[in-house]
Amino acid sequence: MASVTLTQSRPMRRNRKDWRGWGFVGPFMIVFLAVLVAPVVYAIVLTLFRQQLVGGSGFVGLENYALLFQDPKFWESLFRVTLFLVVQVPIMLILSLLAALAIDSARLHGTGFFRIAIFLPYAVPGVVAALIWGFIYGNQFGLTGSINDLLGADILQPFSSDWILASIGNIVTWEFMGYNMLIFYAALKVIPADLYEAAEIDGAGQFRIISGIKLPALRGSIVIATIFSIIGSFQLFNEPNLLKALAPNVISSYFTPNMYAYNLSFAGQQFNYSATVAIVMGIITAVIAYIVQLRGSRQEVR
């Protein structure tokens, strides 16, 4: 939602306060306040208290935040999702971009088929995706086992600690590559035809067209897709949590910040500390998303 133009309707009645808009926005905002803002506020309240299994609850001020900043488990999980983000997001977005450009190029046989086939995984629930890949990764009767048999050695070890992040990255890439492709493709589709005609008159080749026309036109979509992917990476939960049953020692209870928060709450009853993790992660995510948006927009202005 980087570059929504808030100024666009400025020409309309600026003189007096126009409350009619709230008639439309109101219902959304009421539900939004109730189911999203209220829990956030409640979570902030929770971070200021500490409840113990023995001895009840007490106000502790910012102590939970102080604890969190010295908590190696939190930093480790944050580092892990950052690493994940830095590697997985570019790979996924580049693959999506390639697919979108290829489909848009009209040089494919059966474009429609490719478009829908690559998009299909998005329709698979994350839980089901993790389940399917969990089976496939299995060394005994999954595909991995068959490939290893073929190669005659245990080359693929999706559940070893060296591989696990890549294994999860693969699932996430699989799930969202088509989705991002579609966002890019949609942006490519609306490039005005006269731009291409002008390029052709200038004698520009395919690659010149891509770098000169298509990529600049995609910049906005790329910023959006990046922001959504960053949020998604920082909130990584379903895939590692479901794979934990298959790789218990490799995927720790604090593998990602979100898993850490979940286990603090539901295994450890540390609701207050868990809420602190959530709030801090929310702030970090918002700041990074904001910076990406800012940088993305600035480049556009240039």
Partner 1 sequence: MRTKTLRRVALTTASVLTLGLSLAACASGGGSSSGGGTADDLEAALEKGGTITYWSWTPSAEAQVAAFEKAYPKVDVKLVNAGTNTDEYTKLQNAITAGSGAPDVAQVEYYAIPQFALSDSLVDLASYGFGDLEDQYSAGPWSSVDIDGKIYGLPQDSGPMAMFYNKTVFDQYGIAVPTTYDEYVAAAEKLHAADPSKYITNDTGDSGFTTSMIWQAGGQPFTADGTDVTIDLQDDGSKKWADSWNRLVEGDLLATTPGWSDEWYKALGDGTIATLLTGAWMPGVLESSVPQASGDWAVAPMPTYDGTPVTAENGGGGQVVLKQSKNQALAAAFLKWLNSDPESIKVFLESGGFPATTADLESPEFLAQTPEYFGGQAINEVLVDASKNVPTGWHYLPYQVYANSIFADTVGQAYKNGTDLNDGLQTWQDQLVDYGNQQGFTVNK
Partner 2 sequence: MSAIATPEPAAGAAQARKPRKRVPYVRQQKPTEGRRVKKSILLTIVMAIFVIYSVVPLIWLIVNATKDQGDLFSSFGLWFGSDFNLFQNIADTLTYRNGIFVQWFGNTLLYVVVGAGGATLLATLAGYGLAKFNFPGRRAVFAVVLGAVAVPGTALAVPTFLMFSQLGLTNTPWAVILPSLISPFGLYLIWTYAVDAVPTEILEAARMDGASEFRTFFTISLRLLSPGIVTVLLFAVVATWNNYFLPLIMLSEPTWYPLTVGLSQWSSQATGVAAQPIYNLVITGALLTIVPIVVAFLFLQRYWQSGLSAGSVKQ
Residue 271 binds partner 1 (CB under 8 A): yes
Q: Which single residue is written with the structure tokens 């593998």? A: 255
Q: Which of 36, 45, 83, 120 is close enough to bind partner 1 by CB under 8 A? A: 45
Cβ-in-10-Å burial (0-12, 13-18, 19+) of 16 comes to exposed
Within positions 242 to 281, which residues make up the interface with partner 2, using CB under 8 A? 242, 245, 257-258, 261-262, 265-266, 271, 274-275, 277-279, 281
The listed partner (partner 2, partner 1, none) that binds 250, CB under 5 to 8 Å by sort, is partner 1
Residue 93 binds partner 1 (CB under 8 A): no
**CB 290 to partner 1: min, Å:** 18
Closest CA relative to residue 180, chosen from 291, 110, 98 = 98
Q: Which residues pair with 57 in a beta bridge?
A: 51
Within positions 21 to 40, which residues make up the interface with partner 2, using CB under 8 A? 21-25, 27-29, 31-32, 34-40
Which residues make Cβ contacts (< 8 Å) with residue 22, sequence separation at least 6? none
Within positions 127 to 186, which residues make up the interface with partner 1, using CB under 8 A? 135, 138-141, 161
Residue 79 binds partner 1 (CB under 8 A): no
| Contact letters for partner 2, residues 159-178 (x by CB under 8 A) | ---------------x--xx
Residue 122 binds partner 2 (CB under 8 A): yes
Binding residues for partner 1, rule: CB under 8 A, are 33, 37-38, 41-42, 44-46, 49, 51-57, 135, 138-141, 161, 244-250, 252-254, 263, 266-271
